Amino acid sequence: MSSNVRFTDFKSDKQPTWCPGCGDFGTMNGMMKALANTGNSPDDTFVVAGIGCSGKIGTYMRSYALHGVHGRALPVGTGVKLANPDLEVMVAGGDGDGYSIGVGHFIHAVRRNIDITYVVMDNRIYGLTKGQASPTSRSDFETATTPEGSKQPPVNPLALALSAGGSFIAQSFSSHAQRHTEIIEEAINHDGFSLVNTFSPCVTFNDVDTYDYFRDSLVDLGEEEDYDPSDREQAKDKILDSEKEYMGVLYQDDDAQSYEQAHGVEGNMADIDTDGAPDGAMDLVREFY
Amino acid sequence: MHEDLNWAIGGEAGDGIDSTGKIFAQALSRAGRHVFTSKDFASRIRGGYTAYKVRTSVDKVRSVVDRLDVLIALTERTVDENLDELHDGSVIIYDGERTEFSDFEAPDDVTGLDVPLKSLAEDAGGAIMRNIVALGAVCEVADFPIENLDESLEKKFGGKGEKIVENNKEAARLGAEYVEEEFDLAFDFDLETTDNDYVLLNGDEAIGMGAIAAGCKFYAGYPITPATDVMTYLKGRIENFGGHVVQAEDELAAINMALGAARAGARSMTATSGPGIDLMTETFGLVATSETPLVITNVMRSGPSTGMPTKQEQGDLNQMLYGGHGEIPRFVLAPTTVAECFWKTIEAFNLAEKYQTPVYLTADLAMAVTEQTFEPEKFDMDAVEIDRGKVVDEDEISKWQNEKDQFKPHAVTADGVSPRAFPGTEGGVHMSTGLEHDELGRRTEDVDVRVEQVDKRQQKVTTAEEEEDFSYREFGNPDSDNLVISWGSNEGTLIEAMDYLDQEDVDVRLLSVPYIFPRPDLTEDIEAAEEVVVVECNATGQFADLVEHDTLTRVKRVNKYNGVQFKADELADDIQEELA
C-alpha cells in the first residue's frame, strides 16, 4: 500500500460509454476516491463486476479486475479474497445482477461475512437491455415488460442483508459525492462483508427514481444525532420503514467475526513450492495403509 | 483352495455396511493382500438395499466378478439380491434370532451359518457391534488370522477410546469362536497373508491427494454424488498445506469462486458430477475466454437429468467435449485407474497453468467409489513435477507492457500462451473479461482482433499437441489382429477379460486412452488391425464416434448402460461375440 496514490491512479484511459448523466459516473468516482483515501493502490486492488452497465466498471477503473458473467461477481470476489486476503477486493453489481440472478449468492456472501466491499449500482431498472423491470422497481412502475406495473413488491436489499446476518449495511447516493465517498471508505475499513446499496439513477429509462427524487427524499442518518448504527433494532425499523428511504450506514456490527478470521484463512495461496509436492505430502499416502 | 475370495456384506442403508466393509478391506490390505471393492447403493439415507463387496487375492485384482464366496446378510433381501452370484460352497452368515431370518433356509449347496450376531455383540458390550461379530465369523470361515482385524478396528474406533476398541476386538473374537465351536465344518478358504505393503484408496481420494500434491490450495464445491468424496477428502487435509475448502451455495458459485481464486494466482479446483457440469458450463466459457487456469473434475454418473445418481455410466464425454456456446479450447483427461487419478490430477494442474485454460478431469462412478490396493510407490511424491507456466514477476513485467506501460494479459504469442501476472504484481495491473477482448483484455468487436484472439486461444491446443505426450496405455499382444479400445475405468476389467479370452485362444491388443481431448491419433493402430472394438459404459458409443471421426474407419462397439460396471467374464463374452 502506498500513501502516494491518488484517486486518478485508479482511472483507466478508457472513456466510459455510460449515457451522459448516468449515476454510475458518480458511483465509480466515489469508489476510486475511497480506495485511494484508504491507502490502497491499483496493484493490490481487485475489482470484480458482473453484466450490465455496472459490469463495465472494471474497464473504466484501473486495478486487477475481472468482468464476469451475470450475477456471479460475488463468488468470484470470494475466491479472490480467500486466495489472497492481502488484496483489497471490491465487487460492483447492478440491482438486476445482484438482487435477481445473483440474489442467492448475495445472501450467502452476506452470511459468510467475507471481507469484501459490495457496491450495488441500484437504478431500479434494467438499463443495458433497454428498460425492463428490475427486482427493485416499484410495483406500479410501467416498463416494456410490465406495461401495467409489475404488481409485485420490490426486493428490499437492506432487509435481505440484515436478515442474513449482515455486519455492514449502508445506502448511498451517487450524486452526493462527498457522502458517497465517506460511506464507501467506511465499508472498506469494515472487517467483514460490506453492502453499499448506491442509488445510481438511470437518466434514460427511469423517470421515477430520478436525481430529484433521491435528492428530495433521502434522509441522511449521518445527520441524525441519536441514530446508532450498532443498534440492530433501530436499524431494523429504518430498513423496514415503508414511508421513507435512508442514506448512510444503517447497521454495523464491529464484533462480527469475518469468514477469514473464523476459518483461519491467511497467506497468499499463489505461493506454492515449484520444486515438487509440498513438504509432508508423503503423510497423505501413509494414511491409506 | 480358491485363489481369491469374493466377499460381501449387505443390508439396509444405515446398517453400517460401508464402515464394516471398509474395516475388512483394510484388514486384508494390511495383511498384504490385494483388494478391489465395489459398492451397490441406492440414493437414499436409510433403508433400501445396499452392499459393499470385496474381492481379494494375493495377485493384483482389477475388477468385480459374478461370484460370491462369503456373504454377510443383514437382511433377507441381501440373499435374494445376490442369489445369482452364490455358488456351490458359498457361505452365508446371518442372524437367525432376527425376525425375518427365524425360519430362513439357505439355498441348496450353500452353507448357511446362523450366528447370533446381536446377542454375541451384546455380550461384548453392545448390539451395535453385531457387524464386527460377523467379521470375526468371516475370519474363522476364511481361515484369515483374526489379529489382522485388530489394526483396522484400532484405526476405525481409536478416536472413541481404548474401551470401545477392546469391545470391538472382543466382539470379533466371539464371532470367530462361535463358528469354531458350533459348526463342525471345513471350509475351502485359506487366505494367505504376505509381507507386502499396500495402500487402499478410491478414485475420489486419489484425485484429492493428487490435488494437494500438485499444490492446489483452493477448492470450492457443492455436494453431489459421486463427487462429494473429493471435497470431504480435502476438507481437514488441505488446510495443513495452507489451503482452504469452501462449500458453496451451488455449482455456479463453486466454479466462480474457483475462478476467482485462480485469478488471484492459486492452483484451484472444483469437482462435481454431470448435473453440476451443466450448471458450471456458463462460467466454463468465461474461464476459457479469460484464459484462467482451472481444474474441473467431473465424476460421472448415469444421466441425463438426475438419472441414476448412484449408478455407473460414462455418458458425459460429449458434454465435456462440446459443452458451452461458442468454441472453447479445453483439455479433457480421463484417468484409467485409481492410481492414475492421482497422476492425471497433477497433470491437469500443470496443463491448466501452462496453457491457461480449463481442464476437465473425469472419473466415472465405478472408479471414484471403488477402492483398490496399490504399492505406495505408485504415489511417489518425489516424482511430482510442478509447472506453473508463464508467470511473470516485477522484473520481467516491462517486457509485456505496451508503450503506455499497460500489461498485456492476452498478448499474442507464437505458442498461444500469454504472460500471467498475479494480482499484487507491480506493473501487472489488468482486467480480464468474457467479452471478446484485445491484448490488454479490453472489449473489442474489431474483426481482425477477434480473429487474432480466437486463433491465439486455439493455438494453445496445437502447441500442447506438439509439446505434450497425449498417448495411450497398451496391454495384451501388440501384434494381435484384434484391437480393443477403451477409456476411463474399464481398463482394469479389460485386462482381466483378456485372461478369459486367452482361455478361449483369443488374443487382443488393448489400448486404454486416458486423453479425450486432445487425444492420440489411432489411425495407424486401426489400420494395422483386422477387428476393432470400442468398449464403454454408455448407450451411443461416444468415444467410438470420436475414433470413427478421427480415423475415418467404422469400429464395433460394446456398450453397457444399465448402471452397473462391466464384469470381466461378461466383457470377455461380449468382445468375443463382436470379434466372431
A57 within some domain:
yes
* Contact check, Cβ <8 Å, A72/B252: yes
22-81 in chain A: CB under 8 A from chain B: 42-44, 46-48, 58-59, 62-69, 72, 75-81
Grid coordinates belonging to A21: 448523466
Query: What is the predicted pLDDT for the residue at B292?
Result: 98
Residue A2 falls within a domain, yes or no? no
B56: part of which helix (H) or strand (E)? strand B49-57
Contact B244 A80 (CB under 8 A): no
Question: Mean of the per-residue pLDDT values for chain B?
Answer: 96
Per-residue pLDDT averaged across B346-370, rounded?
97
Nearest-CA neighbor of B332 among B311, B318, B315?
A: B318
Strand order in the sheet with B111-114: B111-114, B86-94, B68-73, B4-12, B49-57, B34-40, B371-374, B199-202
Residue A271 maps to a domain: yes
CA distance B269 to B294: 6
Q: What is the domain count for chain A? A: 1
pLDDT of residue B232: 97
Q: Which amino acid, one-letter code, is at A100?
A: S
- The pTM of the full predicted model, rounded to 2 decimals, is 0.97
**Containing domain of residue A162, as a range?**
7-288
C-alpha distances out from residue B496 to B206, B493, B510, Å: 22, 5, 11
Q: Is the pLDDT of residue B42 over 80?
A: no
Interface test with A, best of B263, B407, B436 (most A CBs within 10 A): B263
Which of A43, A277, A284 shows the shortest C-beta gap to B424?
A: A43
Give B1's pLDDT tier (boundaries 50, 70, 90).
very low
Name the residue in chain A with its Cα closest to that of B252.
Answer: A72
Judged by CB atoms closer than 8 Å, whether chains meet at A64 and B430 is answered as yes
Instruction: Identify which of B249, B259, B430 has the shortest CB distance to residue A108.
Output: B249
CATH of the domain at A200: 3.40.50.970
* A284/B435 touch (CB, cutoff 8 Å), yes or no: no
pLDDT of residue A3: 58
Q: What is the dihedral of CA A62, A63, A69, A74, to 10 degrees?
A: -130
Strand locations in chain A, DSSP E?
45-49, 64-67, 88-94, 117-122, 168-173, 194-199, 218-220, 245-252
- Which residues 6+ apart lie within 8 Å of A277 measured at CB? B212, B213, B214, B215, B381, B382, B384
CB contact under 8 A, A79 and B268: yes
Question: Residue B454 CA to chain centroid, in angstroms?
Answer: 34
The mean pLDDT of B136-150, rounded to a whole number, is: 95
Q: Cα angle vertex A33, ends A32, A35, to 5°?
A: 65
Q: What is the pLDDT of residue B268?
A: 98
Average pLDDT over residues B351-370: 97
Q: What is d(CA B458, CA B378) in angstroms, rounded to the nearest whole number?
A: 34
Which segments in chain A show pLDDT lower than 50?
1-2
The span from the CA of A158 to the CA of A169, in Å, is: 6
Question: How many beta carbons lie within 10 A of that of residue B326, not counting itself?
Answer: 10
> B187 falls in which pLDDT band (50, 70, 90)?
confident
Q: Which of B220, B428, B431 sits opposite A59 (nearest CB)?
A: B431
Q: For an interface test with B, give the residue of A14, A258, A282, A288 to mutate (most B CBs within 10 A).
A: A288
Alpha-carbon distance of A81 to A84, in angstroms, equals 5
Q: Note the pLDDT of residue A116.
A: 98
Domain membership of residue A251 (yes or no) is yes
Q: Does A236 touch chain B (CB under 8 A)?
A: no
A261 lies in some domain:
yes
**How does pLDDT run across A16-49, given as a tens digit for each residue?**
999 999 999 999 999 999 999 999 999 999 999 9
Whether residue A75 lies inside any domain: the answer is: yes
CA pair distance B161, B147, nearest whole angstrom: 19
User: What residues of B are in contact with residue A87 (Cβ under 8 Å)?
Assistant: 264, 423-424
Bridge-partner residues for B483, per DSSP? B509, B532
Mean pLDDT confidence for B113-135: 97
Instruction: Using alpha carbons, list the distances in angstroms from residue A262 to A265, B222, B288.
Output: 8, 20, 33
pLDDT of residue A1: 46
Of A67, A84, A285, which is closest to B433 when you measure between CB atoms? A67
pLDDT digits (tens, 9 = 90+) for B231-278: 999 999 999 999 999 999 999 999 999 999 999 999 999 999 999 999
Share above pLDDT 70 across residues of chain B, in percent, rounded to a whole number: 99
Residue A1 lies in a domain: no
The stretch B476-490 carries a mean pLDDT of 97
In the DSSP assignment, the letter for residue A54 is: G
If you measure CA to CA, which chain B residue comes closest to A78?
B257
The beta-carbon neighbor of A69 closest among B201, B237, B434 is B434
Residue A89 pairs in a beta bridge with A46
Mutate to test the interface with A, among B431, B442, B445 (most CBs of A within 10 A): B431
Contacts of B213 in chain A (CB under 8 A): 277-278, 281, 284
Note the pLDDT of residue B186: 84
Q: Is residue A246 part of a domain?
A: yes
- Contact: A84, B424; criterion CB under 8 Å: yes
Which range among B34-43, B325-334, B503-512 shows the weakest confidence by mean pLDDT? B34-43
Calpha distance B214→B368 (Å, rounded): 19
Distance CA A13, CA A19 (A): 18
